[in-house]
Amino acid sequence: MILLWRTRAMTLTHNIYNDLSVSLSAGKHQILSKVYTTPNGISLIYAMNRDTEKRALYFVAEEKSVDSMPRCKGLDIGKVHLYEYSPVDFFCEIAQNSGDESYMFEIIIEDIRKNADELNDKQQLVARVSKLLIKWKNFFAQEKSLMLSPERQQGLYGELLFLKQLIGMFGTSAVSFWTGCDYETHDFYIRGNAVEIKTTSSKAPYKMHISSEYQLDDSEISGELLVDFFALRKSSADGETLPQLIDDIRFKLDDNPLMRKKFDTNLETYGYFDGLEDKYTTGYHIREEHSYRVTDRFPRIVKRDISNGISGCTYDVLVNSCASFEITASEKEHKMKGSEEIV
């Protein structure tokens, strides 16, 4: 058996705190700090306490603006003087709550860092951080987990497999076709066509789980509705992990910063956050892939088939019953591209 090396694309924030931790262990200092400077000259100060391993982030802010900042789970927010960095300025301190998981803190701080990279001057930072704190406060208020469930992981893996195919067909702009992350009716909308992605890790005979009467309804699509189905084998020993597939797609998007940012935003909307790569250890192998064209005779239940007063229809479709609707990879590409020339 060949064991694949699992890469880990750690965040810059994690790497900075890790460097501080190593330096603290090797020296006599109680607290160490490191300055990160954004492309437009905004300074973020990372700090760590040796005894408590408590992490903190500091940046220059007006005293009143710190007082009005929203509070968020896992964070202590206050104002301090850091005379070694400025004899006159106040600094906003965002510190890790004692007992909270370090990865949760690092994910929020990394979000702040990436947003700070986009700003033109430090006067915009407090307002941007406040918006981010509200976002995270709302996230935790819904009792959401930072980790995707196994079902959501598998679903995302399937959608990203298909997105990778689309990038090969259309180039990096294919990221704009991905709408499953936004809870649209269908996972992809491509030039009037729609594609629904289905996965299973169960053994044959395979089934596709349909979560509503709208998923296989093509009545609101000007083109055609396709279903792309992946039968996967999961493994704890080998195979491609979700972070590995994400890294592969990001590499393909490196030359298009706009699409790279959209892709990262889509991942967060879906519920995938950088900094948790080590927790996504399941590897996937593709057993089979099939593509189907949905027509009136395709095995499905749609809204017009249901009596008034009934909603929330879920059901399974036996994959072997869809054989007569299967299309080849070249037919699938032709349908998605249509007659338009691909740039």
What pTM does this model have?
A: 0.82
Query: Tokens representing 279?
Result: 């927790």
- Across the strands, what pairs with 231? 200, 288
* Model pLDDT for residues 114-136, shown as the tens digit of each residue: 999 999 988 899 999 999 999 99
For the chain, residues with pLDDT lower than 70 are 1-9, 98-101, 143, 339-343
Residue closest to 280 by CA, chosen among 181, 101, 147: 147
Q: According to DSSP H, which parts of 121-256 are helical?
A: 125-141, 150-170, 242-252
Gap between the Cα atoms of 11 and 106, Å rounded: 9
Gap between the Cα atoms of 249 and 186, Å rounded: 21
pLDDT of res. 50: 84
Residue closest to 311 by CA, chosen among 213, 216, 232: 213
Residue 97 DSSP one-character state: P
Residue closest to 8 by CA, chosen among 237, 241, 239: 241
Give residue for tokens 């893996």: 157
User: Residue 38: in which H helix or E strand, if any?
Assistant: none
pLDDT of res. 9: 54
pLDDT of res. 103: 82
Calculate ∠ Cα 111-112-114, nearest 5°: 65
